[in-house]
Every structure is written in structure tokens, then in C-alpha cells.
Chains A and B, each alone.
Chain A
Amino acid sequence: MTALLTQNVFWIITIVKVVLLLVIVLTVDAYLTWFERKVVAHIQSRWGPHRVGPHGLLQPAADGLKFLFKEDPTPAGVDRFAYYLAPFLALALSLTALAVIPFGPKPIVLFGQKIYLWIANPDIGLLILFAITALSVYGVALAGWASNSKYSLLGGLRGSAQMISYELSLTMSVVGVLLMANTFSLQGIIEAQANAKHGIGILGWNIFAWTHQGLFWPQIIGFICFFTSAMAETDRAPFDLPEAESELVAGFHTEYASFKFAMFFIAEYTAMITVSCLATILFFGGWLSPFPQSSFWLWQLTHYIPSVTLIPFGLWVIYDGIKYETIFGKLILPGVGAAMVAIGAALIAFPAVNEFIQPVFWFTAKVFVFLFFYVWARGTLPRLRYDQLMNVGWKLLLPVSIANVIVTALVILLRRYR
């Protein structure tokens, strides 16, 4: 038994990691729907979900159950194989993309086994992500075509045209980052931004790309092109033409009900998470703290930021729970708040754990900022017209991102020959 365990320890660790990541990501997906509805509601001066559980916090669970128990009719005249394949393809591909994302640098050592915070760390991580993006067009295209409905077909056609157009600028916009990092490995790209010798923190991230070697070219243009194209690539507002409610009912997934519909939804939210992780890794230093890495007391103090954010927030949740109207809220919210305060206090009490949690904290914080950006854009920007969409993709983003590549290459060349 122990021999079997030691021989297959790699597989066991990997499978456990995959299951854990799936559980975490699917939970985040579920609460992302809650977050999005709340934020959009407040942008529009509404309350958003607030009936199911305190502050509507159990709404995702209710939605999930509803999806599971709904009738799942198959419309007449659909192409059965493609109709059933499309949601599986969409969900499987968007979940696969998470496998190459590194969430933290240091391994957890458990029973003498180093457990890294990623599932796979290939040399061509970024290329694998692009390959998955390239394939994920088929989910939308096939769903639209197989449904035997004009709205769906239009949505599918729009989706595939939009995705192949924006894939180009998406790829070109990260070339600047690749030129500076000299590698396709996501971990390598983060480490290239660390600049450990000089300790310049946030200025070393690719968005500023400041170095001590003189010339530098911030990748802010690359980032704007990247995030815009990525929004279009994930079919999110203001680029949600494939599912434009006011024009196409629900676009490519009009004819899908029950959990097959939910699969498209989960795929979309997972793609949002992947893009946010990617934006963090490529342009915002991944797990790096914005403060310089040094033993200077002020920078050492910044290591308590996780506790300093967690404890007041937990106290506020307790206060909010005590004056909440329902009994359920009075019970649950103070409990959640107390748990937050306890975690914050534990981080202060155990410096080793605090050190370990630093990169993970910064990574998660940055990812949530980008997720908020997604929701913010959806709440405030009107949907583009189809010709505007194509013009933005081909006539604005593509030339600008190519120009960014040329300037970045020139700056690197000049720096080398100076």
C-alpha cells in the first residue's frame, strides 16, 4: 500500500489539486454571478438579489438548484451530436485553461512532498492558453449552428467572426511582454518582473516596465489592447453581440435550457477568471507585492496588509449582522465576520503562514480588481454595433498592438547597444 502510494504520489497530488481547483473555481464562478448582479444593481440604483439568505448570499445556490431541476427539452430538428457537444466543449475548454495558471511561487511542503500552487507549469504556458482560446470558438459556433434556430445561428456566426477577429489583437498585444520576459512560461514572465536586485516593486511590473538600465517602454498600450480584446474574446459586454438580448433573444444559447444553459454560463465566468489571472500575470506582476522586496521596516510592515484588510472587514460584517433584520442573517453574518477576524489574527500570530500567504493574497486581490473591471464595464458601457465592433478590432486594436510590438522591440534593441 505505501509502495503504491510513493510510486504514484505525483498522480495523487495532481488529482487532488485538480479537484480542489475545480471546487474553488466553480464556487468563485457561482459567487461571481452574485457579485455581478449586486454591482450592476448598485450602478443602476437598485438593490440586486437580497431575498435568498442575508444580502442574497444564497442566491447562487438557489440558482444552481433551479438549473438542476428544470426540464431539459431538446428542440425539434437540432443536430443532436453537435447540440450536445457544444456546451461540453465550451465548459471543458474554459476549465482546462486554468491548469497552466500559477497562483503562487512557493510550494507547500507536506510529508516531504513539494506541492506547487499550479497544476502544470509548461515552458509554453501562454501558447497553450492561446491554443485553448482558439478552440473555444467552436463552443459558440456549434451551439449556434446546431440549435436549428435563426437567432442562435446569427449569434453563432457573430460569435465566431468576433472571436477570430479579436484573437489577432489579443495575441499581438502580449508580444511586447514576451519580448521583455524572453519566455512563454507564465512563471518566467512573473519572475522577469520581480527585479529583485533593485527592489522597485510596482514600477517593475510590465505595466510600467521601469528598469535601472535607462530606456523603458511601459506596456500600458499593450495592456489596454489586451484587456479590450480579451473582453471581446470572452463575449462580455460591451462586446456581447453573440448573445445580445435586445436583438437575438439570448443568441447562441437561446435553445439551451436547464444545466446545458448553466454550462455555457459557467464557461463564460471561468473564462473571465482566466483572463483576469492572465492580465494579472502578464502586466501586473502576478503574485508580486506592489511594494519593494527588502528588509526596510516600512516594506516589512506591508506584510500585514492581508490582516489589516481582513480584520476591519470582519468586524464590519459582525456589526452589519447584528443589526440585520432576519434571524438567519443575525446568525450567519456574525459567524462569517468572526471567522474573518480569526483568520486575520492568526496571520499576525503565525509569521510563517503570513509569509506564505503574501503572494497568494496579492494575486487574488489583483484578479478581483480585474473581475470588478469586467462588471464595471458591463454596467456602464453600451453595446457596440456590429460594424463598430469590426472597426475597433481590425482598424484600431490590431494596428496599435503591432505598433506597440515594434516600439518595444526598438527600445530593447537600443538598450542592448547603448
Chain B
Amino acid sequence: MSPALLIFFVLAGLAVLAALSLVVQRHPIHSALSLIVVMVCLAGLYLLIGAEFVAAVQIIVYGGAIMVLFVFVIMLLNVGEEERTDFSKLAKFAGLPLALALTASIAAAVVKPDLGAAGVARAAIPNATAQISSMLFKEFVYPFELTSFLILVAIMGALVLAQREKK
């Protein structure tokens, strides 16, 4: 087994375990920590296929900023351990079939021959970060600006909601 494959299986296995722990953990902080592990493992996987910039941004934005806010809010509200309730009726009947269907569809996509070896190859692009930025500011400049506008609208919405409560 090549070192890259070994690292892949370690990271992928860790990501799956952490994702399971995210669902199973009772305490919100432990769930949040598991999610951080998932994010960092995904960043490692991106690094493995040569997407250095995406990997770093994955950690900075998801592992750092977003998850810190999650943890911060959980700490601020001092949320205690969750109590187990009776499962919802929908989950009891539809849960297992839906899970099976999802697994089957993913498996079908993975097994598909044309996706196999050529699916994800290690990108050997020199100066990939510069290329990403020139794509972002030349070809995709309108979608990029629209997205930032959308975020601005969301921030203003949050401000309006916060101000209304004061009156």
C-alpha cells in the first residue's frame, strides 16, 4: 500500500468515526468537537489530492470561524446534556429504508466504472492558488460578487431582527 493510500484510509476512517460520534454523542460540545474533527480530516483529504488552497480554507473557514461560533453559542447558552426522547414515528418507519436507499445510491455511484480511476486524480497544477484567484475574479466574478451580496443581506437581516427586539 502506498503511503498516500494509507493516509487516505486513516483520514477517511477518522472522518467516518467522527461523523458517527457527532450523531451519537449526547453533549452538544462533544458533537461540535466531532464535527471539527470531520472538517480537519476533510481538509487532509483535500491536501492529499493536491488542493492545498481548498484544504487551508476548509480549516480556516469551517474548522475555525464557523465551528468556533457553534462552540461559542453552545458555551454561551450553557446547554446541558441532551435527554433521549422517544424516536419520532416517521424515523421509526421510514428511517431504515431511507438509509438503505441512500447507501445503495452512493454505492452505485462509486462502483460505476467510468468514475473509478479517472474520477479524482491528484491535480498537478503549478501555482494553483493564483489560478483559483484569477478564475474567481475573472470568469466567476458575478457569481462571486452576488454571493457576497447575499451574505451582506443576511447580516443586515440579522441586524434588523436584533434591533427590533430592543424597542
Contacts and interface: CB of A to CB of B under 8 A. Distances in A.
A248 B76 CA distance: 17
B143 interface: no
A123 B71 contact: no
B64 A124 contact: no
A325 B63 CA distance: 55
B53 A160 contact: no
Interface string B119-151: 000000001111000000000000000000000
Nearest to B63: A135
A84 to B, nearest CB: 13
A138 interface: yes
Contact of A131 (B56, B69, B76, B127): B56
Nearest to B75: A145
B72 interface: yes
Contacts of A182: 130
B29 A82 contact: yes
A137 B65 CA distance: 10
A79 B76 CA distance: 16
Interface string B61-77: 00111001101100110
A127 B132 CA distance: 15
Contact of B76 (A137, A142, A157, A164): A157
A167 interface: yes
B72 A131 contact: no
B33 A124 contact: no
A131 B59 contact: yes
Contact of B52 (A123, A134, A156): A123
B60 interface: yes
Nearest to B71: A141
A243 to B, nearest CB: 17
B59 A81 contact: no
Q: Interface size bucket, B side? A: 20 to 34
Interface in A105-140: 122-124, 127-128, 130-131, 133-135, 137-138
A127 B36 contact: no
A355 B33 CA distance: 49
B20 interface: no
B22 to A, nearest CB: 14
A124 B56 contact: yes
Contact of B65 (A138, A142, A156, A164): A164
Interface in B76-133: 76, 78, 127-130
Contacts of A163: 68
Contacts of B16: none
B45 to A, nearest CB: 15
Among A123, A134, A144, A153: residue with most chain B CB under 10 A: A134
Contact of B72 (A82, A122, A160): A160
A122 B55 CA distance: 13
Contact of A138 (B53, B68, B69, B127): B68
A127 B60 contact: yes
Interface in B9-62: 27, 29-30, 33, 36, 40, 43, 52-53, 56-57, 59-60
A167 B72 CA distance: 15
Given A124-B129, A130-B60, A135-B59, A153 B65 contact: no
A184 interface: yes
B64 A134 contact: yes
A141 B72 contact: yes
Contacts of B29: 79, 82, 142, 145
B19 to A, nearest CB: 18
Contacts of B76: 157
A161 interface: yes
A130 B75 CA distance: 24
B52 A122 contact: yes
Nearest to B69: A164
A127 B53 contact: yes
Contacts of B59: 131, 134-135
Among B36, B40, B129: residue with most chain A CB under 10 A: B129
Contacts of B127: 123
A68 B65 CA distance: 35
Contacts of B40: 135
A141 B30 contact: no
Contacts of A167: 64-65
Nearest to B61: A134
30 contacts: A79-B27, A79-B29, A122-B52, A123-B129, A124-B129, A127-B52, A127-B57, A131-B59, A131-B63, A131-B64, A133-B64, A134-B64, A135-B36, A135-B40, A135-B59, A135-B64, A138-B68, A141-B75, A142-B33, A142-B71, A144-B75, A156-B75, A160-B68, A160-B71, A160-B72, A160-B75, A161-B72, A164-B68, A164-B69, A164-B72
Given A131-B56, A137-B64, A141-B71, 14 more contacts: A79-B27, A82-B29, A82-B33, A123-B129, A127-B57, A131-B59, A134-B64, A153-B75, A153-B78, A157-B76, A160-B71, A160-B72, A163-B68, A164-B65
Closest 10 CB pairs of A and B: A134-B64, A127-B56, A131-B59, A124-B52, A134-B60, A145-B75, A137-B68, A131-B60, A131-B56, A160-B72
